[in-house]
């Protein structure tokens, strides 16, 4: 159970409530191409409106690095949010975020009104969690709600610093849901519990592997990080992705799995090419036998079956990181096989954000999963067993 205040614990009638959302949505020429993060924020916003709060929303967008970059303005989000909420969302266009426009917009608010501030990262203090900017943000509000799971692993002014200068703080519904699903899966899983890790770098996932080995019945490793494990087993991987300095760690993890009785599955065959592109000659070889000048871009057919079979018997599955270069159609089969196996089973299935979430949605399996996290990095840190600063900073119940 989460011991933090939630929006259900607040009395917001007539109060100014600053809500940190994660509206960091992909934009193409000013058009939002995936609005999942906006719709995910609606339950908290609607609740605060219904309770008569003055709802002041804030978020970052991309990496403007402390400068007012017009292409990273939140203006398109305000427009879409107005449509989704069916009420006006006043956009406080302000290069300094908490400037004259923001102050005037907040001063004019009536109960149930909504204002959206400009990109919090237009200010360089944001990512350094500097006190002056935290105070400015807090000066607009009485109460603070953090509903930005995707940035809760970062201690910034709008996620952590601001909590010190408001009367009260709480987590939003999205944050609560993320913590509940990820937390239950990792700490209280129905067994068998299978975790699948992929993606490009072992070094990014080092701590997750170590932590998950304490919890899972089966750990599956695919994607670019699998080649480091293939080398750790004495194989040859040609010019596939390899983190040579992590080979001893990979060996250590395989030994730990054996000691703990955890089934540790790595690819047995690999789809290889000479060039890193979609339209090129490819063939399948055993994983540890990749010739020089060839590199692996996906798991092979036998591995797809092996992984799918392991997933079939599971009651809880957590997945983070694609099985191959799924952005290339020819090398998306492994990622697809895992998504398909997860979609078919009667189990709690959780996608840990980032690329795997994109892949699952792109392949059309989104609605077949129990929970797709909105935070890639945050969900990974959560799986590592780390406390998220954005959650820690919120008032205890």
* Residue (of 205, 219, 232, 328) closest to 287 by Cα position: 232
Q: Are 106 and 140 in contact (CB under 8 A)?
A: yes
CB of 224 to ligand AMP, least distance (A): 3
Binding residue (CB under 6 A) for ligand AMP from 321, 352, 375, 390: 321
Size of interface with ligand AMP, in residues (CB under 6 A)? 17
Residue 204 in the binding site for ligand AMP (CB under 6 A): yes
> Catalytic: which of 201, 263, 315, 386?
201
Length of the chain measured in residues: 397
Binding residue (CB under 6 A) for ligand AMP from 325, 341, 342, 360: 325
Report the relative pairing of strands 348-351 and 371-372 from DSSP bridges.
parallel
Phi, psi for residue 165 in degrees, rounded to 5: -115, 15
Conformation bin of residue 168: beta by default, left when phi > 0, alpha when psi is -120 to 50:
beta
* Residue 161 is among the residues annotated as catalytic for this protein: no
Residue 288 in the binding site for ligand AMP (CB under 6 A): no
> Catalytic: which of 16, 37, 47, 304?
37
* Residue 172 is among the residues annotated as catalytic for this protein: no
> Catalytic: which of 112, 235, 366, 377?
377
Binding residue (CB under 6 A) for ligand AMP from 144, 355, 373, 388: 355
Cα torsion angle, 124, 129, 130, 134, sign: positive
Residue 300 in the binding site for ligand AMP (CB under 6 A): no
258's CB contacts (< 8 A; 6+ apart) are: 264
Which is nearer to ligand AMP, 130 or 302 (by Cβ)?
302
Stretch that binds ligand AMP, among 16-24, 211-219, 320-328, 360-368 (CB under 6 A): 320-328
Stretch that binds ligand AMP, among 164-172, 175-183, 317-325, 381-389 (CB under 6 A): 317-325
Q: Which two tokens stand for residue 369?
A: 């999963």
Binding residue (CB under 6 A) for ligand AMP from 189, 296, 375, 390: 296
283's CB contacts (< 8 A; 6+ apart) are: 271, 272
Conformation bin of residue 62: beta by default, left when phi > 0, alpha when psi is -120 to 50:
left
* Residue (of 252, 153, 275, 175) closest to 206 by Cα position: 252
Binding residue (CB under 6 A) for ligand AMP from 53, 161, 189, 199: 199
Distance CA 236, CA 296 (A): 11
Q: Are 383 and 318 in contact (CB under 8 A)?
A: yes
* Residue 234 is among the residues annotated as catalytic for this protein: no
Q: Are 140 and 98 in contact (CB under 8 A)?
A: yes
* Residue 354 is among the residues annotated as catalytic for this protein: yes
Which is nearer to ligand AMP, 204 or 301 (by Cβ)?
204
Q: Which of residues 221-240 bind ligand AMP (CB under 6 A)?
A: 223-224
Which helix (H) or strand (E) is 237 found in, with range?
strand 236-237
Binding residue (CB under 6 A) for ligand AMP from 238, 300, 324, 375: 324
CB of 35 to ligand AMP, least distance (A): 22
CB of 155 to ligand AMP, least distance (A): 22
Q: Provide the annotated active-site residues.
A: 37, 201, 354, 377
Interface positions with ligand AMP (CB under 6 A): 198-201, 204, 223-224, 241, 296-297, 321-322, 324-325, 327, 354-355
């Amino acid at each position: 159970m989460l011991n933090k205040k939630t929006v259900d614990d607040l009395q917001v009638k007539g109060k100014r409530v600053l809500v940190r959302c994660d509206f960091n949505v992909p934009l193409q020429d000013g058009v939002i191409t995936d609005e999942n993060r906006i719709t995910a924020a609606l339950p908290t916003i609607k609740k605060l409106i219904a309770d008569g709060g003055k709802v002041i929303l804030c978020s970052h967008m991309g990496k403007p690095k402390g400068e007012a970059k017009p292409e990273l303005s939140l203006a398109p989000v305000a427009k879409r949010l107005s449509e989704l909420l069916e009420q006006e969302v006043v956009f406080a266009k302000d290069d300094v975020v908490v400037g004259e426009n923001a102050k005037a917009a907040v001063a004019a608010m009536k109960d149930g009104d909504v204002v959206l501030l400009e990109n919090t990262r237009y200010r360089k203090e944001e990512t350094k969690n500097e006190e002056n900017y935290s105070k400015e943000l807090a000066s607009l509000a009485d109460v603070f709600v953090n509903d930005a799971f995707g940035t809760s692993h970062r201690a910034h002014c709008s996620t952590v610093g601001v909590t010190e200068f408001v009367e009260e703080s709480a987590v939003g519904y999205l944050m609560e849901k993320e913590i509940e699903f990820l937390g239950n899966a990792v700490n209280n899983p129905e067994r068998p519990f299978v975790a699948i890790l992929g993606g490009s770098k072992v070094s990014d996932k080092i701590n997750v592997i170590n932590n998950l080995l304490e919890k899972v019945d089966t750990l599956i490793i695919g994607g670019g990080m699998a080649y480091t494990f293939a080398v750790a087993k004495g194989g040859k991987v040609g010019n596939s992705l390899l983190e040579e300095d992590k080979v001893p760690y990979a060996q250590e993890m395989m030994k730990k799995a054996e000691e703990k009785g955890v089934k540790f599955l790595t690819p047995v065959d690999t789809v290889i090419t000479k060039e890193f592109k979609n339209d090129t000659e490819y063939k399948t070889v055993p994983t540890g036998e990749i010739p020089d000048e060839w590199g692996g871009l996906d798991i092979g057919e036998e591995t797809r079956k092996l992984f799918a079979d392991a997933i079939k018997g599971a009651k809880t599955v957590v997945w983070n990181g694609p099985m191959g270069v799924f952005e290339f159609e020819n090398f998306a089969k492994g990622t697809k096989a895992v998504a398909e196996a997860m979609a078919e089973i009667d189990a709690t299935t959780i996608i840990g954000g980032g690329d795997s979430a994109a892949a699952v949605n792109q392949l059309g399996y989104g609605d077949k999963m129990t929970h797709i996290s909105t935070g890639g990095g945050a969900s990974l840190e959560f799986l590592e067993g780390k406390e998220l600063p954005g959650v820690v900073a919120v008032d205890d119940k």
